Structure 1
Amino acid sequence: MTNALQDGRRLLVTALLPAAVAVGCAGPADTGGTAEASCAYLVTYDGRTYLDVANVEFTVGEKLGTATIPRCDDTPNDPGDAVPERGITAYAVEGMDPARAIAVGDTPAEATLMKVR
């Protein structure tokens, strides 16, 4: 086999390996025991599901109520490692409709921006 052919195969394997690993780790959210790579940070509030958003400046507004962080068990074969469902304070975000974005945190200073998925 020529060096160019070996290098081409090595590049192909190197390029495809991350995709194979990602597919192997991913799975449906509620698989009844199949592990995922990790639990996404999401909350539910007023019938909607919100995902966290990074690197966006925002201003926390008034307190809206309580959002729910769902139970997470990304290691179902390890008893006791599940994170239970819990409530967290939901805040309005100035200039945004709560149907599209909220902030959540134990205090306004610690709040994280969340947008509807």
Structure 2
Amino acid sequence: MTTAPRAGRRLIMTSLLLAAAVGCAETSGTGGAAEALCAYLVTYDSRTYLDVANVEFTVGEKLGTATVPACDDTPNDPGDAVPERGITAYAVEGMDPAVGIAVGDTPAEATLMKVR
């Protein structure tokens, strides 16, 4: 299945994930600018993957569950933490899972992730 027609949906998902990461920004105790952001990354099979934008890929078979780590860059602001959660990991056709996978709630919504 090709995801080229779903590029708009992938862009929306990436935008939503970026908005969630920005919501995890930490400000300094002196009222300065944001010091850290939660990056969108997942762990799968003892490897850490970061998202990749603007790359065409084809989702392959379901591999299992990847983990999106918790994000709490604002420990002094209760309620802003994003809890750890599982997300479906898929193979990417033509790519070794040790190099890259796709993650998403469905194959159509999957985002390409590469080992960092």
- Is the TM-score greater than 0.5? yes
Partner of 1:83: 82
Root-mean-square deviation (CA, aligned residues, Å) is: 1.7
Using the TM superposition, give the Cα deviation of residue 69 of structure 1 relative to its aligned residue in structure 2, in angstroms: 0.2
Partner of 1:67: 66
Partner of 1:105: 104
Q: For the Cα contact (< 8 Å) 1:36–1:74, is it kept in 2?
A: no
Matches within 5 A, 1:1-117: 36-117=35-116
Using the TM superposition, give the Cα deviation of residue 36 of structure 1 relative to its aligned residue in structure 2, in angstroms: 4.3
Q: For the Cα contact (< 8 Å) 1:58–1:113, is it kept in 2?
A: yes
- Helix, strand or coil for the counterpart of 2:108? helix
Structure 2 unaligned segments of length 5 or more: list them.
1-24, 27-33
Q: For the Cα contact (< 8 Å) 1:42–1:49, is it kept in 2?
A: yes
**Distance in 2 between residues matched to 1:36 and 1:59, nearest whole Å:** 36
Q: How many residues align?
A: 85
**Rg larger in 1 or in 2?**
1
Kindly indicate which of the two structures has a greater share of residues assigned to strand. Answer: 2
Q: Which runs of 4+ in 1 moved over 4 A?
A: none
Q: TM-score, normalised by structure 2?
A: 0.69
